[in-house]
Structure 1
Amino acid sequence: MRTTAASLAAPLLLAASAHALPELSISKRDAKLATSNVARGLVKRGGTVGTNVFDILTYSTGGAYYANVTIGTPPQDQVVILDTGSSDLYFDASTAAACEATGPYSCRGGTFTPKDSSSYTIVDASPAFNTSFGDGSTAVGPFAEDIVGIGNVRISNVQFGVAETVNSTTGYAIGLMGLGYSENEATTHIYPNMPEVLRDTGVINSRLYSVFLNDVGETSGTILFGGIDTTKYTGELATLDILPDVITGAVDQFITTVTSLSATIAGNTTSLFTGGTNSIAAYGNSDVALPVLLDTGSSAWSVPTTYYDDFIAPLFTYIDQDGYCSCSHQDDADSVTLTFGAKLNITVPAREFIIPVYNATTDDPLPYGDGTQACAFMIVAAEPTGEGFQTLGDAMLRSMYIVFDLDNGQLALAQAAVNSTARPSVVTVSAGPSGIASAISTAYSGAPTNTWSIAPEVQNATASFSVSTAQSTIGTATGTAALPADAQISSGGETGSASSSGSSATTTKKGGAAGLVVPGVEWSGVWVTGTAVMMAALGAGLMM
């Protein structure tokens, strides 16, 4: 979901934000799916589906994590933002004015042409899909149904929005795959979104998926529906109950608490705050714990201004008043350690939250005042949202392996095994409250059943799904091969070629915050022209 930190209270109709994701690569399904049924094009129940996720820094301020999917018959390639902070699936129409234009607010990553799909049908005419975001961006059009391809499956009658009119205010317009609870969709008639579609078709057992963004220096990460890859994390996998939304009183967003925070600077470790509860008491001013939304659609960690002024700024003295520093500090051994729910510690090294800044038009690095490259500090101060929580974005999530368990209203977290070269070891998670515990044999800490009301899956859906294996896998290319052609950057600044099927590609800049303004530097191609606005934008997801 796209918002700015100045208006981080979530979109008018959606409940979270969308931002950068590394390669959205879906892992192979469980081996038991390789049956005679699959040979006939059908998918047996109870497996997993995965695909790669990738980070394209030049597409939005601060970057974003994307995935390759297809839509229609014959399939049309699309790039979508992978967003745990919103719930709708939608694609930009090729006829939208923004998609026929050029410039930093035009469409990128593929557009959808309904007339070229023989399987396309309109479910609810425009403006049934009508969503507004906190940064002023909008998307309007009809709701439709068609065949969606992801990983090695193609699913018919999947509902999605078609943005016939799209207005992006903070970067390129790109389609979106919202993975939150369907209750937060931008419609009065909620529909099964991707976690529910995969569950309803029997491809996976329950509304559960795992996200691994990988190190900031890597282009590729993964999302795995229906299972857990035990090679993608180290130590204990710990489960926490999701907190209910302070407004709705139900579990319908991925909110947990940071109950302690420490920082290690120049070899010295300082406890910044500790205590508080992993309960609704954390929403109160007297509780020190910070409620946070785990949002792959946001680039930065937004913290209350008082916490930033009292705890962060005094220690990170090399960060200037505008939120910048020399990129030489990426190599410092500094880090922060967050404790989630008084149960699990996650350590985040400085390189994950001190991010290079590039010019949005030329892709050239921006200089800092001392002649080195400029970096942005991805822990930002933010005003209250009115919802009781702030967003915890990719700068922190890259160091975490996260299992989003929608059915049970829980999150399972562990320290990410970034840059692991281990061969994937995928376990399928069965339905029910003991699904994760049954799948993980060692180093697992469970949690009691969440007693708060959990947003249910869509009932009495009008669509009748069918699923088949794709003729070739969709979106499982890794590295720069996963990036769309117009996102390829060669060392000489020329564009290379790539596709979701995994063609070769040139190297690309990664790990940076694109399109930002550094004090004292003028670039005609920069999207955001005010430092305060820029730092606000870093606090949340910016792309549709």
Structure 2
Amino acid sequence: MKKRLGYLGLVPALTLTAMAQVVTWDIEKRATGGSLQRRSKSAFEEIILNEKGRGGYFATVQIGSPGQNMTMQLDTGSSDVWIPHCDATVCKSGLCMLGSFNSSSSKTFYEIGEDEFYVSYIDDKYASGDYFKDRFQIGGNDVQNLTMGLGLKTDITYGLVGVGYATNEASKASKDSPYANLPVAMEQNGLINSIAYSLWLNDLDANTGNILFGGVDMGKFDGPLTKIDVILDEDADKYTEFIVLMSSLTATSPSGTDVLATSESAIEVLLDSGSTLSYLPTELAQAIWKEVGAKYQVSLGMAILPCSHSAHPGHFSFGFAGDGGPTINVTMDELVIDLTNGDPPLLTSGPYAGEYLCAFGIQNYTTGTYVLGDTFLRSAYVVYDLENNQIGLAPTKFNSTETNIVPFPSKGASIPGATAAPVTSTTSPIDSVVDFPMAETTNLKAADGFQDGDSPEESSVLGKANMLPILLPLSISLASAVLLSVRLL
């Protein structure tokens, strides 16, 4: 699995409540708390905290007896819950601001001795230790004896809540016989009826969004909810990740429309909340950059553009599963991301001299698996159905205050309110690691509408006095099995 790198700022604790059968985890960006209201007899919502461009969505849980508060990152791209131990060097140094676990203080802690927990990352960040079982409280409800990883040796300062397929767990022992990870354990504990959840991240500047375990909130999206197939991992002959077929990409602005990718150039993409940015094949990403006036900056290892472009008109339409499949529009204000947690760097020359510099939300990647991360997911309402191996997609309703939760009525039931795409596929027409066949991009009609002038030149991007620590993902790891955002120093 691939990792995305980023920065995590201090996240405050959250106040949570929940009702049985459907679990809501609220996601929150800057506010210090939020309360959970009754939604349905069989749905739970939970608040997650979005650190905007800084590395992910977070929520507070309680682990052990008595419960110890942990603010942890939600990740649809990984499958283990793991936390740093209080005696890990990084935590003893006072850096685990979001919580660390003291196993000796929990009366219900049970170490699983036969399997070692280990994950590693491209920047040499890692976590190793043991698997254990303990009480896990989410939204005021208990998951008894949940299997988790304990980071006894780690230089990562916060924990992770992986909610992917159990077949993708880091445990070596689970490759043949996966343990019941959080989504499975919630169903087994009777908290939800089916192993499924819905993700509503809301827009980049919103205070709250949520993940809804066991149900669909009809008040959080516009238009039809369309279900498409997850792509089977043919090598493993099982479903391991939320990979779907992206079959088209169109750019539209006041000056015109350009078709950048068609069904002949369809690719497999991973829908991953643990990735701050999105990563597409290099040729396709370059065409997108040309549309919006972004420029690849070698010194940063990413495409950048003036922050003012967030107010520019235009959108990109992502199509899935062929003709008649769902389409999600992503506007520029969701694709221009802060580079730092302080004043952004300044452009020092050229047509945008004196303007602040931001990262562009779509970056390039030379090999699969390609990723649609938070810069895409905020514009979509996404239902992850792990029982039927399907994804439901609909255009999100930003900042909606309407709530209409419909639970999955039973184990294996279809996604409530969803209709199937006319043609769904469990395999892509091309291998996701081969050269990407491009549509014509030499005469881009939409480019003028996306931008006001030329893109920033490589030699004129940053003033030396403005070289602040970069907070966004700069590279992708090929190691281990967990997606994670960590700080680059």
Structure 2 residue ranges without an equivalent (≥5): 24-39, 428-460
Deviation (angstroms), 1:352: 0.8
Cα 1:400–1:22 shift into 2, 3 Å: farther
State how far apart, in whole Å, the 2-side matches of 1:450 and 1:120 are. 45
Contact 2:321–2:425 (CA under 8 A) maintained in structure 1: no
State how far apart, in whole Å, the 2-side matches of 1:255 and 1:222 are. 21
State how far apart, in whole Å, the 2-side matches of 1:194 and 1:185 are. 11
Cα 1:81–1:375 shift into 2, 3 Å: same
State how far apart, in whole Å, the 2-side matches of 1:524 and 1:260 are. 37
Deviation (angstroms), 1:378: 1.2
Deviation (angstroms), 1:451: 9.7
Cα 1:339–1:382 shift into 2, 3 Å: same
Q: Does residue 427 in structure 1 map to residue 427 in structure 2?
A: no
1:267-307 Cα offsets, whole Å, 9 max, x none, are 4221112124xxxxxxxxxxx10210000000111011122
Question: What does residue 460 of structure 1 align with?
Answer: none
State the secondary structure of the residue aligned to 2:233.
Answer: coil
Cα 1:367–1:253 shift into 2, 3 Å: same
Q: 1:77 aligns with which of 69, 90, 111?
A: 69
TM-score using structure 1 length: 0.70
State how far apart, in whole Å, the 2-side matches of 1:313 and 1:377 are. 8
1:165-207 Cα offsets, whole Å, 9 max, x none, are 1134xxxx21001111111111133311110011001111111
Q: Does residue 117 in structure 1 map to residue 112 in structure 2?
A: no
Aligned length: 419
State how far apart, in whole Å, the 2-side matches of 1:452 and 1:133 are. 29
1:452-483 Cα offsets, whole Å, 9 max, x none, are 79xxxxxxxxxxxxxxxxxxxxxxxxxxxxxx
State how far apart, in whole Å, the 1-side matches of 2:477 and 2:354 are. 24
Deviation (angstroms), 1:163: 0.3
Q: Does residue 87 in structure 1 map to residue 79 in structure 2?
A: yes
Q: Does residue 303 in structure 1 map to residue 280 in structure 2?
A: yes
State how far apart, in whole Å, the 1-side matches of 2:419 and 2:22 are. 28
State how far apart, in whole Å, the 1-side matches of 2:311 and 2:16 are. 31
Question: What does residue 209 of structure 2 align with?
Answer: 221
TM-score using structure 2 length: 0.77
State how far apart, in whole Å, the 2-side matches of 1:177 and 1:130 are. 15
Cα 1:2–1:250 shift into 2, 3 Å: closer
- After TM superposition, list the pairs within 5 Å mapping 1:3-18 onto structure 2: 3-4=3-4
Cα 1:260–1:380 shift into 2, 3 Å: same
Question: What does residue 332 of structure 2 align with?
Answer: 350
Question: What does residue 416 of structure 1 align with?
Answer: 396
Question: What does residue 58 of structure 2 align with?
Answer: 66
Amino acid at match of 2:332: A
Question: What does residue 360 of structure 2 align with?
Answer: 377
State how far apart, in whole Å, the 1-side matches of 2:423 and 2:69 are. 41
Question: What does residue 180 of structure 1 align with?
Answer: 164
Amino acid at match of 2:383: V
Contact 2:3–2:484 (CA under 8 A) maintained in structure 1: yes
State how far apart, in whole Å, the 1-side matches of 2:14 and 2:318 are. 25
Amino acid at match of 2:364: A
1:405-432 Cα offsets, whole Å, 9 max, x none, are 001111011001011122x111111235
Question: What does residue 470 of structure 1 align with?
Answer: none
Cα 1:205–1:336 shift into 2, 3 Å: same
Question: What does residue 367 of structure 1 align with?
Answer: 346
State the secondary structure of the residue aligned to 2:147.
Answer: strand
The share of aligned pairs that are identical, in percent, is 30
State how far apart, in whole Å, the 2-side matches of 1:403 and 1:542 are. 23
Q: Does residue 446 in structure 1 map to residue 420 in structure 2?
A: yes
1:318-366 Cα offsets, whole Å, 9 max, x none, are 545452222111111121110011201100111111112224xxx4444
Cα 1:261–1:448 shift into 2, 3 Å: closer
Q: Does residue 293 in structure 1 map to residue 273 in structure 2?
A: no
Q: 2:49 aligns with which of 50, 54, 57?
A: 54
State the secondary structure of the residue aligned to 2:145.
Answer: strand
State how far apart, in whole Å, the 2-side matches of 1:27 and 1:452 are. 38
State the secondary structure of the residue aligned to 1:323.
Answer: strand
Deviation (angstroms), 1:78: 0.4
Q: Does residue 154 in structure 1 map to residue 146 in structure 2?
A: no
Q: 2:305 aligns with which of 325, 330, 348?
A: 325
State the secondary structure of the residue aligned to 1:221.
Answer: strand
Q: 1:520 aligns with which of 463, 468, 474?
A: 463
1:59-106 Cα offsets, whole Å, 9 max, x none, are xx742111111111121110111111110001111111111226xxx4
Cα 1:23–1:238 shift into 2, 3 Å: farther
State how far apart, in whole Å, the 2-side matches of 1:400 and 1:536 are. 25
State how far apart, in whole Å, the 2-side matches of 1:90 and 1:113 are. 13
Question: What does residue 383 of structure 2 align with?
Answer: 403
Q: What is the Cα-based RMSD across aligned positions, in Å?
A: 3.4
Q: 1:340 aligns with which of 288, 309, 320?
A: 320
Deviation (angstroms), 1:538: 11
State how far apart, in whole Å, the 2-side matches of 1:428 and 1:19 are. 33
Structure 1 residue ranges without an equivalent (≥5): 6-16, 34-44, 277-287, 454-517
1:502-543 Cα offsets, whole Å, 9 max, x none, are xxxxxxxxxxxxxxxx73345686267xxxx95336997424
